[in-house]
Amino acid sequence: MTPDEVHHFLDQEKTMTVGTIGPHGRPHLMPLWYVPEGDQLVAWTFAKSQKSKNLERDPRATVQVEAGVEYQELRGVMFECDVLVERDPERVAEFGRKIFTRYGGGDLSPEAAEMVERQAAKRIGMRFVPTRTVTWDHRKLGGGY
């Protein structure tokens, strides 16, 4: 995919799979909602989650966003990333507001904004900064595999 195609794809899709290294050295894969910001992705998670603990040990992750069912439809992007972790509740709440605005389809209701503020104290924000990008789009193969 071209950089413009990657940005369009990330704007369309809704879930990324995040791979961190677990306590026993094996990949730990989990789905997360995300918000694209330029060439980076932002997300949040509970501070006590396994992925949070993994990032404390090693602030690197691989993320993948994919789409398609049939082989000729498969497309996606994989980023190897450095992850910047935010723990300040006010900044974490900003991450939460961005996520709920994106997934809620518009402005936050007062109730949703209040929920995000309450949740922020129990969460971390994560900024995924790609260091390597791999993309694929089988639709471009034209049936010649």
Sheet containing 35-37: order of strands: 27-33, 15-21, 60-67, 75-86, 123-137, 40-46, 35-37
All domains of the chain in start order, with CATH:
3-141 (2.30.110.10)
Structure tokens at 13: 């899709």
**pLDDT digit string (tens) for 28-65?**
999 999 999 999 999 999 999 999 999 999 999 999 99
Q: Which residues have a Cβ under 8 Å from the Cβ of 112 and sit 6 or more positions away?
A: 100, 104
Q: Which residues have a Cβ under 8 Å from the Cβ of 135 and sit 6 or more positions away?
A: 1, 5, 6, 75, 76, 77, 78
Taking every pair of Cα atoms in the chain, the longest distance, rounded to a whole number of angstroms, is: 52
| Model pLDDT, residue 112 | 85
State the pLDDT confidence band at 145, using cuts at 50, 70 and 90.
Answer: low
- The residue written with tokens 């993994």 in the block is 54
- The residue written with tokens 């794809």 in the block is 9
**With contact defined as beta carbons under 8 Å apart, do 30 and 21 qualify?**
no
**pLDDT digit string (tens) for 97-125?**
999 999 987 788 888 888 889 999 999 99
Q: What is the mean pLDDT of residues 121-140?
A: 96
- Answering whether pTM is above 0.85, one says yes
